[in-house]
Amino acid sequence: MTDNDHGDVGKNRRRRVLYGRRMGRPLRVERRKLMEELLPAVRIDLTGAAPASLDPRSLFARPVFAAEALPPPAETWLEVGFGGGEHMCAQAAANARVGIIGCEPFVNGVASALQHIDGGRLENVRLHPDDARAVIDALAPASLARVYVLFPDPWPKARHAKRRFISDANLDALARVLRPGGLLVVASDDRGYIRWALARALAHPAFEWTAERAADWQERPADQPPSRYEEKAREKGISPVFLVFRLRSGF
């Protein structure tokens, strides 16, 4: 396998890696313990999952902290590249009836998210500590109400453009798993990435841009807590852009 390939997303398929590093500093004892004890309880098992068959509500059938099973979530959201899990877990805490699937290959980010899940005793988060595309491929059609792609790696050099998460192929895949009227939220502090993402989504027949006035892309949606990368951008004096697309009905 080369640096550009990714072997765990399908038997005969090789995919370009879209993310940067998988491992940062060695984990502290508490985080190592969460990786060993809590991750198995919240981790999505895709072993043997047939493509396009997974009902995401089934992932929440077994409680993590509660003694008894909880009702299935009213809807399911997906976060691609949750980083340290700040946005994902704040959303989970604020929306107990929503099941949130988070995907992130960066081990230290997964450990940080587990700390948030544990601290908030969050029942409604499930994790895939790897490439989001494997989960998207497994999901049943129209099974998600929202997808968040917040501050994706910008891969600013033109020769790395194929690694950008927002791509024609991934928009096709997201159009399949979003339900009609479902939302795709893309945020970035990289103007080049925003131009790229906007051009791709506007050219895609399944998505319509919801913005009606400048404030709609200049301000974070009111029901969305900040992510760590948003805060980092603001500390540097950069105002991020928030693009919200809706899946057209009948697509």
| Residues classed as catalytic | 153
Q: In terms of C-beta distances under 8 Å and separation of at least 24 residues, what long-range contacts does 201-207 make, across chains too? A: 201/166, 201/171, 201/243, 201/245, 204/168, 204/171, 204/172, 204/175, 205/248, 205/251, 206/171, 206/172, 206/175, 206/247, 206/248, 206/251, 207/171, 207/175, 207/245, 207/246, 207/247, 207/248
| CB-CB contact of 117 with 89 (8 Å) | yes
| 31, 228, 246, 248: which one binds ligand SAM (CB under 6 A) | 228
| 105, 129, 182, 240: which one binds ligand SAM (CB under 6 A) | 105
Minimum distance from residue 160 beta carbon to ligand SAM (Å): 12
Is residue 242 within the footprint of ligand SAM (CB under 6 A)? no
Report the distance separating Cα 48 and Cα 188, nearest Å.
Answer: 35
Span 126-165, contacts to ligand SAM by CB under 6 A: 131-133, 150-153, 165
Tell me, by CB under 6 A, how many residues bind ligand SAM.
Answer: 23
Minimum distance from residue 242 beta carbon to ligand SAM (Å): 12
Query: Which residue minimizes CB distance to ligand SAM?
Result: 81
Site string for ligand SAM, 49-78 (x = CB under 6 A): ------------------------------
Where do we find the tokens 């948030």? 116
Span 73-92, contacts to ligand SAM by CB under 6 A: 80-83
Is residue 245 within the footprint of ligand SAM (CB under 6 A)? no
Is residue 182 within the footprint of ligand SAM (CB under 6 A)? no
Helix ranges restricted to H, 38-178: 39-42, 86-94, 107-119, 132-138, 168-177
Is residue 240 within the footprint of ligand SAM (CB under 6 A)? no
- In the complex with ligand SAM, which residue's Cβ is closer, 51 or 181? 51
Minimum distance from residue 10 beta carbon to ligand SAM (Å): 14
Site string for ligand SAM, 184-203 (x = CB under 6 A): --------------------
DSSP 188-228: ES-HHHHHHHHHHHHHSTTEEE---STHHHHS--TT-PPPH
| CB-CB contact of 243 with 209 (8 Å) | yes
Minimum distance from residue 222 beta carbon to ligand SAM (Å): 18
Residue 70, number of CB atoms within 10 A of its CB: 16
Residues in contact with ligand SAM by the rule CB under 6 A: 18-19, 80-83, 103-106, 109, 131-133, 150-153, 165, 227-230
